[in-house]
Amino acid sequence: MQFLSAFPPSGRLLVRDGRVRCSAAAAFLLFLLLLLFLLLFLLPGTQVASVPGGPPQQGLAASAAASAGASAGAVPASPAVERGTEPAPWVWPTGSRTVSRPWEAPANDYAAGHRGIDVRAPVGTAAVAVAGGTVTFAGPVAGRGVVTIDHGDGLRSTLDSVTPTVTTGDRVHQGDAVGRVAVGHCPASTPCLHLGARIDDRYVDPTPYLPPAAWPVLLPESAWTG
């Protein structure tokens, strides 16, 4: 038949115009490109790695990303993040959330600072327990009325300056009235209630225990007597 006549008895393919040689060269070049591609992806350090929560990455970039992700996951969340939408453990001691003077951490236990926050409140405003606990002190300190409540686990709150309406040993619940705002820590022209917090007798910032504050109104240091 005509189809078989194209092949000689020896089984060799008839070569016309060098087409077979061009095809062989093209096939060889394609083989080299494929080999180069495989070598590149089989070299050390190019293995595929996965990063949790993301698409696969390759080589050193993947290792770095995975390490960064692991490190980030190992960092403990801040109290605000852990608390999320849960209510704050404390309530504001007066009806105001305006902080007239914030916490100012001292350099050491004996250095100057502001060991608490000042909450703006008119004289005579009811001061309430920020959380339930036992009154451990209610009386004058350096001429100013102070109420201290032990909330357990070494945590205590202090209200300064107030006229106490409770006595030492009283059990109080969150929101119970324990006194009334008086002049002392703040001047009569800008009265306030000073709220302090202590953990194992060391003063700490009470702000993280409270719901968000209103925008603070700060006064010059010369205006403060506390």
Q: Which amino acid is at 147?
A: V
Tell me what pLDDT residue 35 has: 77
The model's confidence at residue 81, banded by pLDDT at 50, 70 and 90, is very low
Residue 97 clears pLDDT 50, i.e. is over it: yes
Least confident of 13-27, 106-120, 168-182, 207-221: 13-27
Predicted structure pTM score: 0.59
DSSP class of residue 221 equals G
Nearest to 161 by CA among 134, 184, 195: 184
Mean pLDDT of the chain: 75
Let me know: does 205 contact 197? Beta carbons within 8 Å.
yes
User: What pLDDT does 25 receive?
Assistant: 74
**What pLDDT is stored for residue 105 in this prediction?**
83
Residue 83: which H helix or E strand, with range?
A: helix 79-83
- Percent of the chain whose pLDDT exceeds 90: 46
Handedness of CA 211, 214, 218, 219 (dihedral sign): negative
Q: For 135-187, what is each residue's pLDDT tens digit?
A: 999 999 999 999 999 999 999 999 999 999 999 999 999 999 999 999 999 98
pLDDT at residue 43 tops 70: no
Of the candidate ranges 17-21, 25-29, 128-132, the one whose mean pLDDT is the lowest: 17-21
pLDDT at position 112 over 70: yes
Q: What is the DSSP string of 16-75?
A: -TTHHHHHHHHHHHHHHHHHHHHHHHHSTT--EE--TTS--EEHHHHHHHHHHHHHHHHS
pLDDT of residue 13: 43
